[in-house]
């Protein structure tokens, strides 16, 4: 059988600009630790509505882009994402999933990560997409350390429950 994924050649090639290779960043934003991945709460959420639910699924080992994920990382990404969606779907029926690979794709952190953003209702459908696109292009305002800590603590238990 021919494998449909590319084996990773350059494992652990972190750069000084890679926030997701920094233990202090991971610790500050961590809401769940899987086998191969972390779920982080975004420090500058572009979520919609009051909750601003915006998570990042990040590979523990450095991966430049989506093509560099191992089969195990890809499958765990799908599993964790599915559990998050199932857990939040009643209150947040709209979910945006995206990742950006490479400079032309808009990737600003040189480490693969998938965004998982939730919206409360269909009124966010059109304007939500527009807002997400604009914030992807022009960035969101980072939360204060205090706000980030409060939200990480709030969502850590919810995400732990979602993973059961």
Consecutive sets of 10 residues in the chain, 164 residues long: mean pLDDT of each?
Answer: 44 70 93 97 80 91 89 97 96 86 64 88 66 65 92 96 95
Predicted local distance difference test score (pLDDT) of residue 19: 85
Strand boundaries in the chain, DSSP class E: 30-33, 37-41, 54-59, 94-98, 113-119
SS3 98: strand
Farthest-apart Cα atoms in the chain, separation: 51
* Residue 119: closest CA among 49, 57, 44, 39: 49
pTM recorded for the entire structure: 0.81
Predicted local distance difference test score (pLDDT) of residue 96: 86
Return the ∠ at Cα 129 (arms to 132 and 113), rounded to 5°.
45
Residues facing residue 114 across a β-bridge: 57
SS3 158: helix
């Amino acid at each position: 059988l021919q494998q449909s994924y590319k084996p990773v050649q350059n494992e652990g090639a972190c750069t000084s600009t890679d926030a997701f290779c920094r233990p202090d960043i991971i610790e500050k934003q961590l809401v769940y630790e899987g086998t191969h991945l972390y779920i982080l709460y975004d420090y500058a959420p572009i979520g919609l509505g009051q909750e601003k639910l915006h998570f990042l699924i990040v590979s523990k080992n450095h991966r430049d882009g989506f093509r560099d994920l191992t089969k195990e990382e890809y499958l765990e990404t799908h599993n964790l994402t599915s559990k998050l969606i199932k857990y939040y779907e009643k209150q947040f029926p709209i979910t945006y999933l995206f990742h950006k690979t490479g400079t032309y794709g808009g990737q600003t952190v040189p480490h693969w990560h998938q965004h998982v953003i939730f919206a409360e209702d269909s009124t966010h459908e059109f304007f939500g997409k527009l807002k997400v696109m604009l914030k992807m292009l022009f960035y969101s305002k980072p939360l204060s350390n205090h706000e980030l800590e409060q939200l990480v603590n709030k969502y850590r238990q919810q995400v732990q429950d979602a993973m059961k």
